[in-house]
Structure 1
Amino acid sequence: MTTLARVFSKAFSESSDSTKGTFLKHLLLLGAAVLLVSAMALTYGTDLSPGFF
């Protein structure tokens, strides 16, 4: 968990202007987008209206 926090802080820090930092930022954003799309696909057709809860 600490390693993941370090990767996030390194990727989104102000001093990460290098090519490696930019690549890491794009890789993390791509991973977040993939997780969002997969969560949306898994919940497709599920009734999430307020009456359901």
Structure 2
Amino acid sequence: MTALTKAFHKAFSEASDSPKHELLKQLLLLCAAILLVSAMALTYGTDLSHGFF
């Protein structure tokens, strides 16, 4: 968890202008998008209305 936090900090800090940091930023955003789509696909058809709970 600490490594993930350090990677996010390094990628999105103000001083990250190098191409290496730009690549890291793009990879992290891609992974976040993949996780979001995966979560949406797993919950497809699930009733998440207030009556369900």
TM bracket (short chain): over 0.9
CA RMSD of aligned residues (A): 0.7
TM-score (normalizing by structure 2): 0.94
TM-score (normalizing by structure 1): 0.94
Q: How many residues align structurally?
A: 53
Counterpart position of 1:25: 25
Task: Give runs of ≥4 in structure 1 deviating > 3 Å.
Answer: none
How far does residue 41 in structure 1 lie from its aligned partner after superposition? 0.2
Structure 1 unaligned spans of 5+: none
Q: Which one-letter code corresponds to 2:20 in the other structure?
A: K
SS in 2 for 1:50: coil
Cα distance in structure 1, aligned partners of 2:47 and 2:2 = 36
How far does residue 3 in structure 1 lie from its aligned partner after superposition? 1.3
Counterpart position of 1:13: 13
Higher relative contact order (Cα pairs below 8 Å, separated by 6+ residues) = 2
Cα distance in structure 2, aligned partners of 1:37 and 1:47 = 18
Cα distance in structure 2, aligned partners of 1:49 and 1:20 = 43
Sequence identity percentage: 74
